[in-house]
């Protein structure tokens, strides 16, 4: 029987330099997509997947993340007295109970693999999820839930995968497919950001379910592409050591909110997905496009 996944690691130590000057004073994970910060989308997705313990790998200047998930008693009391129950319920969705969330510092920026390794003592000897907040996925059911349901059948480790254009493979970890079973593929190997001759066009995005043995691979702390400790390399070691790794072609659209263009695309997609916004927003976008065409 496959052990249930109840813990998730959120590597949130990055500086967010691509969004300066906004990220001079706020963590990039607190940047707002429509009306909630990126970190809230990640937490909501994890909750929907049955995650019970949330491990944040942080760095200096990330105090706003801790405050965001704390109870704001004064604000709650103000809303309660004003009879604004809808806003009060919305606020309560951001609260995390004591003990459900833990924070660990990553003191040196040594890559995603190192960030996950920093959480090793809290993960222990059980499978765990890793969620990258830059990757926001619009899908139903949520991406991580799809993965956990598939993992219950396959065991091993699993990565979320999507097909990308051949000329974009150098920006991703790319899967070498051993067996294609449709939605699920068995992974023969993984190459981080191949400069040439990628093994496929199936790219890994920021959702993982990992066996605890991956932490043993990270213990070696070997530097890979870019001089960083790559999580992709530790997952590839699983395969070399005879353990199974799978990729899941998830149902949904992924947006790279670590880039400005991707963030803007996500804003449009999530705005149009909101019942309370889509009609007015769609009319505005239609008018803008019409004005652009007329100007041409």
Q: Quote the pTM value.
A: 0.88
C-alpha gyration radius of the chain: 20
| Contact status, residue 137 vs residue 33, Cβ threshold 8 Å | no
Q: What is the mean pLDDT of residues 125-130?
A: 94
At 35-89, the pLDDT tens digits run 999 999 999 999 999 999 999 998 887 788 888 888 888 888 898 888 888 888 8
Highest-pLDDT range among 14-18, 23-27, 101-105, 141-145: 141-145
Architecture of domain 7-258: Alpha-Beta Complex (3.90)
Tell me the C-alpha to C-alpha distance, in Å, between residue 268 and each of 53, 90, 273, 275. 31, 22, 9, 13
**C-alpha angle 127/192/106, rounded to 5°?**
55
- Distance of alpha carbon 249 from alpha carbon 183, whole angstroms: 5
Boundaries of every domain in the chain: 7-258
Pairing assessment for the beta strands 245-249 and 36-37 based on DSSP bridges: unpaired
Residue length, the chain? 296
Q: Supply 201's token pair.
A: 């066009």
């Amino acid at each position: 029987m496959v052990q249930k996944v109840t813990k998730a690691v959120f590597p949130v130590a990055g500086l967010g330099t691509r969004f300066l000057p906004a990220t001079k004073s706020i963590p990039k994970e607190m940047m707002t997509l429509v009306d909630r910060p990126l970190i809230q989308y990640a937490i909501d997705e994890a909750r929907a997947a049955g995650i019970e313990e949330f491990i944040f790998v942080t760095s200096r200047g990330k105090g706003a993340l801790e405050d965001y998930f704390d109870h704001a008693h004064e604000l709650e009391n103000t809303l309660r007295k004003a009879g604004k129950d809808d806003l009060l319920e919305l606020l309560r969705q951001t609260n995390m109970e004591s003990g459900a969330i833990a924070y660990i510092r990553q003191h040196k920026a040594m890559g995603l693999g190192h960030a996950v390794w920093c959480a090793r003592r809290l993960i222990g000897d059980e499978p765990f999820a890793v969620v990258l907040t830059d990757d926001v996925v619009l899908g139903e059911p949520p991406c991580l839930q799809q993965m956990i349901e598939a993992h219950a059948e396959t065991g091993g480790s699993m990565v979320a995968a999507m097909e990308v254009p051949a000329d974009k493979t150098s920006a991703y970890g790319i899967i070498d497919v051993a067996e294609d079973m449709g939605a699920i593929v068995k992974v023969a190997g993984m190459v981080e950001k191949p400069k040439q001759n990628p093994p496929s066009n199936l790219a890994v995005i920021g959702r993982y379910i990992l066996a605890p043995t991956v932490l043993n691979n990270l213990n070696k702390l070997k530097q890979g592409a870019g001089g960083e400790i790559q999580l992709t390399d530790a997952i590839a070691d699983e395969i070399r050591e005879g353990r199974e790794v799978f990729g899941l072609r998830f149902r949904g659209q992924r947006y790279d909110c670590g880039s400005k263009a991707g963030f803007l695309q996500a804003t449009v997609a999530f705005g149009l997905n909101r019942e309370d916004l889509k009609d007015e927003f769609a009319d505005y976008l239609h008018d803008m496009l019409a004005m652009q065409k007329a100007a041409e």
